[in-house]
């Protein structure tokens, strides 16, 4: 990727697009003081540089029937660095991170029920090298939001 300096306008555009990626370039331009054409240029370059990866929709997990959210600390007896595909193969897993600390991998799991969560834990144990799990269920989600471009 090329030089990645983002000026104030770029950051403002990213913030506006995070709010609503569907609005017209004319409206975006008005908000940052640019013409529609110039705004289009800026956004196109943000995409080319990989700052903006894709435009997507934010879905209510509850509406999909996914009412249970849990974080699972996965302990292992072996190097887990190449196990990404094994975790990705479990669709209930939304995120998987290699972490420093007593556990090896931290995963975020969304399921329909706690029984369903148990089934995911069973599939986690089936992954090569996994020696234990410690699940923590979320009782209430305060908020989930995208990274702030203004830091």
Verify binding: residue 49, its own copies, rule CB under 8 A.
yes
What is the closest distance, in whole angstroms, from the C-beta atom of residue 3 to its own copies in the complex? 11
26 binds DNA (CB under 7 A): yes
What tokens were used for 103?
Answer: 């556990």
- Using CB under 8 A as the binding rule, whether residue 77 contacts its own copies is answered as no
Q: Which is nearer to DNA, 44 or 122 (CB)?
A: 44
**What gap in Å lies between CA 137 and CA 52, rounded to an integer?**
32
Is residue 21 near DNA by the rule CB under 7 A? no
Residue selected from 19, 30, 41, 136 as contacting DNA according to rule CB under 7 A: 41
CB 12 within 8 A of CB 39: no
Q: Are 77 and 131 in contact (CB under 8 A)?
A: yes
| CA–centroid distance for 62 within its chain | 17
Which of its own copies, DNA, none does 56 bind, CB closer than 5 to 8 A by kind? its own copies
Which helix (H) or strand (E) segment holds residue 145: the answer is none
- Which of 110, 117, 121, 124 is the binder for its own copies (CB under 8 A)? 110
Residue 51 tokens, joined: 């700052």
The answer to the question of residue 115 lying near its own copies (CB under 8 A) is: no
């Amino acid at each position: 990727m090329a030089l990645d300096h983002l000026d104030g306008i770029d950051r403002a555009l990213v913030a506006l697009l995070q709010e609503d990626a569907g609005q017209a370039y004319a409206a975006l331009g008005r908000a940052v003081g640019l013409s529609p054409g110039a705004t289009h240029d800026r956004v196109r370059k943000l995409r080319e540089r990989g700052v903006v990866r894709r435009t997507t929709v934010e879905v209510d997990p509850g509406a999909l029937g996914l009412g249970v959210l849990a974080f699972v600390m996965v302990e292992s007896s072996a190097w887990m660095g190449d196990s990404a595909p094994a975790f990705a193969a479990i669709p209930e897993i939304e995120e998987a991170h290699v972490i420093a600390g007593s556990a090896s991998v931290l995963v975020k799991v969304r399921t329909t029920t706690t029984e369903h969560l148990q089934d995911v834990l069973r599939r986690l144990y089936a992954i090569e090298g996994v020696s234990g799990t410690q699940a923590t269920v979320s009782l209430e989600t305060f908020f989930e939001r995208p990274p702030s471009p203004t830091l």
